[in-house]
Structure 1
Amino acid sequence: MRQRLSSEPDRYRGRRRVPTPPRSRYAVVVTTAFVGAGVVALGAQAMPDAKTVSPSALAADLQNASATSQDVADRAADADRASRDTDRGALESTLANTEDTWFLPLRGYTFTAPYGLRWGKFHAGVDLAATEGTPYRAIHDGTVEKAGWYGGYGNCVIIRHTDGTESIYGHSSRLLVKEGQQVKAGDTIGLVGSTGHSYGSHLHLEIHVKGEPTDPIPWLRNKGVDIQMETQPIAADAAAS
């Protein structure tokens, strides 16, 4: 071997030689690589290839998923119906337990005349102005005692209620009940008009207690009905809706 002269440049100065790994370490690296490749191959075999999926199996899966979705929708619909039935049953039960509920005779009227003296004469009821043909209702359960022409009242309905009081509805353009008919609170019994001794289209309402007329305003207010404020019990509003 030729001896390197001191004047020759050192070609390896500043460089590092990569040491050759021992044979044992080399064996470990190669073995690990083979094992990893085997795992990847096994994993690839475990995953289904899209080309190998059975169309019938896919259709069955889709059908099962659709059936499950429909089942969930049906259960939700059944629960909704059950909830509505429960609410309706609760409302019917509430109304059944409020047999003493009283109603306004109509809606959308203008209070025009009170009970008492008017133009030098005694006015035995209250007047509620409304458009001719507006339906009016029974203020409480009872039996129709009169349904026809009744002097100055014109076409008139008289109802005897379960507590013995009477309500009189005058000046109707049309009557929708007959004598002897049973009516419930809120039933439509006639249409507003201006028959008899009337100054315009309106409903004349009287309340008689033990055969004597009484002011309908305070009497009905004690029943939860305010004619001047046009309000009535919540149960009456629910039944009328």
Structure 2
Amino acid sequence: MNARSAPAQLRARAFAQRANYRGRRRQPAPRHRFLALLTTAVVSSAVVALSTAAALPEPHTDDLTIESAGNYDDVTTHSSDRASRSTSSRAGQPAPDVWILPMHKYTLTSMFGQRWGQLHPGVDLGAAEGTPFTAVAAGTVVLCRWNAGYGNNVMIDHGGGVVTVYGHASKLLCHEGQQVRAGDRVALVGNTGHSFGSHLHFEVRQDGKPIEPLAFMLRHGVDIQHHSETAYS
């Protein structure tokens, strides 16, 4: 090697070393490092998602029901079998736990109270013979037969000591032990038993004793005097 070529060779060697160094800096990260970073990111996202879900409240799944429009202090309006009833109404039928009129075309002809020296324990609703009438609320038919002065008689137990009574029917359409809903037909208006014209005798009993039915029904959303009910308002 002569003196003139030595510096040139040194400069070429230095240039090659700098290029090699810059090339190493530009080399991509090894594949296993990339996969490790990707796995860490995925795991971190999953942890955040789980933490967020755990902090959310549980969905509200309480059954939606229609409550009575009122309550007497001495009357329990919710029967013990309420939880077993369906909360959805059938087409054209009110939902459970509402009270309705026994029929819609009638004339209020006699009130609750003393009559001819003795208690008249219900109200009389005059209507044409054969007019169908219905259960005013959901319950169990506990009597459906001839019953002395009541003639063809239906009684429905609604729970909580409350029983409704329907007298003087011309024909019975239900049977004892049957589960009925508000609006189910139970009999036809008639003039049987101790009756002086075609009508429905309607009573409400609390713990076996007749109570004034107009006020009771009004507190449950039904105005017998004005032929109205909140279930269809």
**TM interval, short-chain normalised:** 0.5 to 0.7
Deviations along 1:179-236, one digit per CA (max 9) or x if unpaired, are 0011001100000000000010000001001111000000110001011111111xx3
- Please list the CA deviations of residues 142-169 of structure 1 after superposition, one character each: whole Å capped at 9, or x if unmatched: 0010000001000000000133300000
Does 2:103 align with 1:130?
A: no
Amino acid at match of 1:237: Y
Q: Secondary structure at the match of 1:219?
A: helix
1:66-121 Cα offsets, whole Å, 9 max, x none, are xxxxxxxxxxxxxxxxxxxxxxxxxx977599532101011110000000001222
1:179 to 152, 176, 179: 176
Distance change (3 Å), C-alpha of 1:133 and 1:98: closer
* Aligned residue in 1 for 2:165: 168
Alignment of 1:55-204 (within 5 A): 95=89, 99-204=96-201
Partner-residue secondary structure (3-state), 1:169: strand
CA distance in 2, matches of 1:161, 1:94: 19
Q: What's the counterpart of residue 232 of structure 2?
A: 237
Q: Does 1:218 align with 2:215?
A: yes
Question: Which runs of no fewer than 5 residues in structure 1 stay unpaired?
Answer: 1-91
Please name the residue that 2:31 is paired with: none
SS at match of 1:221: helix
Does the 8 Å CA contact 1:143/1:183 hold for their aligned counterparts?
yes
Change (3 A) 1:180 1:223: same
Q: Is the 8 A contact 1:125 1:207 kept in 2?
A: yes
Task: Give the AA of the match of 2:232.
Answer: D
CA deviations on 1:26-64 (whole Å, 9 max, x unpaired) are: xxxxxxxxxxxxxxxxxxxxxxxxxxxxxxxxxxxxxxx
**Equivalent residue number for residue 64 of structure 1:** none
Question: 1: distance between equivalents of 2:133 and 2:100?
Answer: 10
The 1-side partners of 2:143 and 2:96 are apart by 23
- TM-score, normalised to structure 2, is 0.59
User: Structure 2: how far apart are the matches of 1:153 and 1:98?
Assistant: 30
Structure with higher Rg: it is: 1
**Native 8 Å contact 1:104 1:231 kept in 2:** yes
Whichever residue aligns with residue 142 of structure 1, its letter is G
Counterpart contact for 1:141–1:162, Cα < 8 Å: no
What letter matches 2:218 in structure 1? R
Amino acid at match of 1:143: T
Residue of structure 1 equivalent to 2:202: 205
- The whole-number CA distance in structure 2 between the counterparts of 1:113 and 1:183 is 27
Distance in 1, Cα, partners of 2:133 & 2:204 = 15
Higher relative contact order, structure no. (Cα contacts within 8 Å, ≥ 6 residues apart): 2
**Structure 2, gaps ≥5 residues long:** 1-85
What letter matches 1:216 in structure 2? Answer: P
